[in-house]
Amino acid sequence: MRIGHGYDVHAFDASRPLILGGMEIPHDFGLKGHSDADVLLHTITDSILGALALGDIGKFFPDTDEKFKDADSRVLLGEVVAMMHEKGYEIGNIDAVVIAERPKLRGYIDDMRENVAALLKTDMSNVNIKATTSEKLGFTGREEGIASEAVVLLQKQEAK
Ligand SMILES: Nc1ccn([C@@H]2O[C@H](COP(=O)(O)O)[C@@H](O)[C@H]2O)c(=O)n1
Ligand SMILES: C[C@@]1(CO)OP(=O)(O)OP(=O)(O)OC[C@H]1O
């Protein structure tokens, strides 16, 4: 078994839609980024790369490469999941948190879990996603952006 951790932050950008967990969430602001800025999927991607000791998302999908401009983060995560399978691992379970003062995410969490489970090619029962405010403290509390963290456990693929 291998454990990995991911952390990411994106600043708000009023000109973009808010994409989180592979879906658009109604809000006044989206997030700034080279890609679609799906901070939750980036965190999950980094946690898997961390568990495999392969580095981080920017190493494989640099924000200096035009190829990844406005990239769909579901595609980037899909590539990393393929690398994980190539190395003989599958998801044991994953636990992620989104730190956002607004919008209220509770109503979208199960749809996000379903998206993430499909991308990770695992059962929804292996995917937990939480949301918290930071009680108006710090950059998330001032609504300057959204942060996310995840931990993942990978296990050796079961023989088919
Ligand atoms: N963006 C968010 C933040 C929080 N929630 C839900 O509210 C609960 C209480 O939040 P606290 O920051 O006061 O702990 C939290 O446990 C979430 O269920 C949310 O849906 N969206
Ligand atoms: C995903 C990539 C690539 O488009 O761009 P961003 O959306 O800026 O995201 P970030 O989490 O800063 O780093 C990874 C990047 O290389």
Rounded-to-integer distance, Cα 62 and Cα 107, Å: 33
Q: Is the pTM of this model over 0.90?
A: yes
- Which is higher by pLDDT, 57 or 160? 57
Q: Which two tokens stand for residue 160?
A: 């088919």
DSSP letters spanning the chain: -EEEEEEEEEEEETTS-EEETTEEE--S-EE--SS---HHHHHHHHHHHHHTT---HHHHS-TT-GGGTT--HHHHHHHHHHHHHHTTEEEEEEEEEEE-SSS--GGGHHHHHHHHHHHHTS-GGGEEEEEE--TT-HHHHTTSEEEEEEEEEEEEPPP-
Rounded-to-integer distance, Cα 46 and Cα 18, Å: 20
b/e per residue 72-99 (b: at least 16 CB within 10 A): ebbebbbebbeebeeeebbbbbbebbbb
pLDDT of residue 160 exceeding 70, the answer is no
Stretch 111-126: mean pLDDT: 98
CB atoms within 10 A of CB 21: 27
pLDDT of residue 14 exceeding 80, the answer is yes
Please tell me the predicted confidence (pLDDT) of residue 107.
Answer: 97
Whole-number average pLDDT of the chain: 97
pLDDT of residue 122 exceeding 70, the answer is yes
Residue type, 105: L
Residue 112: CB within 6 Å of ligand 1? no
CATH topology of domain 2-156: 60s Ribosomal Protein L30; Chain: A; (3.30.1330)
Per DSSP bridges, beta strands 23-25 and 18-20 are: antiparallel
Residue type, 104: K
pLDDT digits (tens, 9 = 90+) for 83-113: 999 999 999 999 999 999 999 999 999 999 9
Q: Whose CA is nearest to atom 14 of ligand 1?
A: 132
Please tell me the predicted confidence (pLDDT) of residue 158.
Answer: 82
Examine the predicted complex and report whether its ipTM is higher than 0.85. Answer: yes
Report the separation in Å between the CA atom of 74 and the middle of ligand 2, taken as the mean of its atom positions: 12
> Which ligand gives the minimal distance to the CA of 103?
1
Share above pLDDT 70 across residues of the chain, in percent, rounded to a whole number: 99
Residue 34: CB within 6 Å of ligand 2? yes
User: Does the annotation list 79 as a binding residue?
Assistant: no
User: What is the domain partition of the chain in residue ranges?
Assistant: 2-156
CA torsion 19→24→25→27, rounded to 10°?
80
pLDDT digits (tens, 9 = 90+) for 21-67: 999 999 999 999 999 999 999 999 999 999 999 999 999 999 999 99
Residue 62: CB within 6 Å of ligand 2? yes
pLDDT of residue 159 exceeding 90, the answer is no
